[in-house]
Amino acid sequence: MTSTALFTDQYELTMLSAALRDGSAHRACTFEVFARRLPDGRRYGVVAGTGRFLDALRDFRFGEDELASLSFLEADTLDWLRNYRFGGDIDGYREGELFFPGSPILSVRGTFAECVILETLALSIYNHDSAIAAAATRMVSASDGRPLIEMGSRRAHEEAAVASSRVAYICGFAATSNLEAVRRHGIPGAGTSAHAFTLLHTGVDGPDEAAAFRSQIAALGVGTTLLVDTYDITAGVATAIEVAGPELGGVRIDSGDLGVLARQVRRQLDDLGATRTRIVVSGDLDEYAIASLRAEPVDTYGVGTSVVTGSGAPTAGMVYKLVEVDGIPVAKRSSHKESRGGRKRAVRLARSTGTVVEELVTKAGAPLPATDPYTVRELSVPMVRGGEIVHTATVEDARTLVAEGLRSLPWEGLGLSQGDPAVPTVFS
């Protein structure tokens, strides 16, 4: 086990130290994770990171290696950390659930001491993964059912890339280029060749694209996808079919005006009898570019930079706030950053057709206001009880939930244009 305990901000441990001295460390607390707002113009958020957070929580232990680097703490605090394991309760929205401003995505309950030190770990994972999820889901929605391949690893930190591949798959991407994500999370892998492979087949007489294509087909079979835009796309397509025959699996275009090129290449392929050869496009695609290609003969999208960077919103803006101490609601109140004190419960109201109309957030334990004629669904599920993880969900479960969530949104909530959240969050 590699400990996750130092994915923590120093102030959590200095607060712990002070609270252990004055006894407040043992007060019963509730912390909640929520986002005050969605990124500019976004209509919904998508919870992601739950599975990774629960794994990281299991490994959040202070061994001697970790303690040795905490020389700013006195012995009593170090002893407390040495024996630490989270012993409280956690409830939360399931991974893949949609969320809206103020949705109480995670509720962490226990003593102040045991809860406060989880802040950075929880936020790092949820903020990163949920940012990727929001972007990926918009892309899936924009693709109108055509498969997307996540190929952005090279544009992200190497570990963030693995997490991004996992999230993109949860949100409906078909496959990833990232081999560590394939190994770690069981996601389908994809990828055939880069321009370097075509360029490698250059001799004293110049480029030999046909040799590169022959070599790739010999290794990967005629069902492979050939990259046709290293030199001249029309010549590249002609060479591809000459070498592979009309049974060629696919061609990839990675540059230029993808809409124009896709039409041109489709016509050329059809003329050559390669009517079933697929067209894969890639190159700086984001959700808007994907949507703009919907009318074109594109079969698969390869998406890189924009998905792993959250397409303009690289972090989800979630916070981890103390909302209740010994049953007393607490909240900061000096500025626009106010929070709502008190432990919360959230339900989602929907029409009988399944279309969501409202996110309703109430005080935990209080009766729900009248919700007729809508159906009511509880949004939080138990995840940890007395320190034991009781929630297990696979990436496939989360993937199903994202797809269900998209079907439940009012149609205008699926638009890419800027607007208010797809449904209002009502605090009662």
Output the six-digit token pair for 130: 């949920």
Least Cβ distance, residue 159 to a copy of itself (angstroms): 4
CB of 357 to a copy of itself, least distance (A): 32
Q: Which of residues 174-213 bind a copy of itself (CB under 8 A)?
A: 177-180, 182-183, 189-197, 199-204, 207, 211
Smallest gap from Cβ 262 to a copy of itself, in A, equals 14
Q: Which of residues 273-312 bind a copy of itself (CB under 8 A)?
A: 283, 305, 308-310
Q: Rounded to an integer, what distance in angstroms lies between the CA atom of residue 427 and that of residue 419?
A: 21
Unique residue bearing structure tokens 């055509």: 146
Radius of gyration of the chain (CA): 25
| Residue among 264, 292, 315, 425 that touches a copy of itself (CB under 8 A) | 315
Q: Which is nearer to a copy of itself, 202 or 394 (CB)?
A: 202
Q: Give dist(CA 314, CA 159) in Å, integer.
A: 15
Smaller CB separation from a copy of itself, 25 or 347: 25
Judged by CB under 8 A, the residue of 337, 351, 377, 407 near a copy of itself is 337
Which C-beta is closer to a copy of itself: that of 98 or that of 151?
A: 151
Of 279, 238, 286, the residue nearest 262 (C-alpha): 279
Binding flag, residue 398, a copy of itself (CB under 8 A): no
Which of 81, 356 has the CB closer to a copy of itself?
81
As measured in angstroms, the least distance from the Cβ of 169 to a copy of itself is 14
Q: Whose Cβ is closer to a copy of itself: residue 294's or residue 337's?
A: 337
H-run or E-run covering 99: strand 98-99
Q: Say if residues 330 and 50 touch (Cβ distance below 8 Å).
A: no
Stretch of 91-99, 217-225, 366-374, 387-395 contacting a copy of itself, by CB under 8 A = 217-225
Q: How far is the CB of 210 from a copy of itself (least distance, A)?
A: 12
Burial 146-181 (b: 16+ CB within 10 A, else e): ebbbbbbbeebeeebbbbbbbbbbbbbbbbbbbeeb
CA gap 280, 151 in Å, rounded: 13
Instruction: Name the segment binding a copy of itself (CB under 8 A); options: 17-25, 78-86, 373-381, 414-422.
Output: 17-25
Residues 233-262, interacting with a copy of itself (CB under 8 A): 233, 236, 255-256
Instruction: Report the SS3 class of residue 359.
Output: strand
> Does the footprint of a copy of itself cover residue 55 (CB under 8 A)?
no
C-alpha 146, offset from chain centre:
19
Residue 249 and residue 226: Cα distance in Å, rounded?
8
User: Minimum CB separation from a copy of itself for residue 294, in Å?
Assistant: 23
Residue 412 burial class via C-beta count within 10 angstroms: exposed 0-12, middle 13-18, buried 19 and up = exposed
* Sole binder of a copy of itself in the list 58, 215, 414, 416 (CB under 8 A): 215
Tell me, what DSSP letter sits at residue 153? G
Site for a copy of itself in 70-89 (CB under 8 A): 70, 72
Lateral strand order in the sheet of 356-363 = 375-378, 344-350, 356-363, 425-427
Which is closer to a copy of itself, CB of 24 or CB of 425?
24
Q: Is 127 in the site for a copy of itself (CB under 8 A)?
A: yes
Q: Give the number of other CB atoms < 10 A from CB of residue 66.
A: 18
Q: Is residue 264 part of the contact set for a copy of itself (CB under 8 A)?
A: no
Least distance (Å) between residue 93 CB and a copy of itself: 18
Using CB under 8 A, which of the segments 150-158, 273-281, 358-366, 377-385 binds a copy of itself? 150-158
If one asks whether residue 29 binds a copy of itself (CB under 8 A), the answer comes out as: yes
What's the rounded Cα separation, in Å, for the pair 318 and 125?
10
When the beta carbons of 103 and 127 are compared against a copy of itself, the nearer one is 127
Q: Quick check: helix, strand or coil at residue 286?
A: coil
Q: Using DSSP, state whether 131 is helix, strand or coil.
A: helix
Structure tokens at 367: 């009766």
Q: Residues 128, 278, 345, 348: which binds a copy of itself (CB under 8 A)?
A: 128
Which residues touch 75 (CB under 8 Å, ≥6 apart)? Answer: none
- Positions in 93-112 near a copy of itself (CB under 8 A): 112
Task: Give how far the C-alpha of residue 152 lies from the chain's centroid of Cα atoms, to the nearest Å.
Answer: 13
CA 303 to chain centre: 14
